[in-house]
Every structure is written in structure tokens, then in C-alpha cells.
Structure 1
Amino acid sequence: LRLSDGQWRVVNVIVNGINLGLTFRNQFDQAMRDNNRDYDAVIRGWAPEIGVDELEQGGDA
């Protein structure tokens, strides 16, 4: 935990010996390399598989 601007924030979590902060950072770095350091392309890759129209119609993911 780290106190920042009067609020406590989680900076890393280790579960069963797995460093989640390091794992997520490595996954993000790989996605950036796969997309030629294009932030927009990486973020588009996070988009859900289901479309907005399907959600509005009550479709399941």
C-alpha cells in the first residue's frame, strides 16, 4: 500500500508467490511490442468480444 494524495492505493499484490504487478506489466509490455508501441491498438485489443448492440438486446457474452 502507498499513501498518495491522502488516499491509500494498492501498488502490487503477490498471490501464492505470483507477483501480479510484474505479471500485468509484462503482459502490457508484450502487447505494446506486438502492436509496435501503439497505445490505441493495445487498448482496442482490450475491447470485449461482444458488441454494444448485443448488450442492448440482452445478449450474453
Structure 2
Amino acid sequence: MEFSCSCMRMESFGIPCEHIVCVLVHEDINELPRSLVLSRWTKTAKVGLQNAAGFS
């Protein structure tokens, strides 16, 4: 599933806006679809980051 909104919060900040959340509630979707969770907000977001930045 893909979601977008004219307020552009998802595209700008990577966070679903209240408009998208209202649609999810209206459609009785109880979990955020993976398409609404950017990799930077996951537990594995920092994996490999230190090596890429040159830190040990």
C-alpha cells in the first residue's frame, strides 16, 4: 500500500500525518503498513553506520 497526502509531511519528514492515520483508522487498519515506516525509524537504522562514517 502506498499513501500520500497534500500536506506532504510523510514526504518531508518521513512521519505519517494525521490525515493518513485517519484513513488507516477509517479503513480499520490496526498496524502501520511497512511503506509508512522508513528505514531510519527502525531498530536496524544504525547498523553499518559507524563503519561508513569511519568510526571504530
After TM superposition, the score normalised by the length of structure 2 is 0.29
Greater Rg by CA? 1
After TM superposition, the score normalised by the length of structure 1 is 0.28
Higher strand fraction (1 or 2): 1
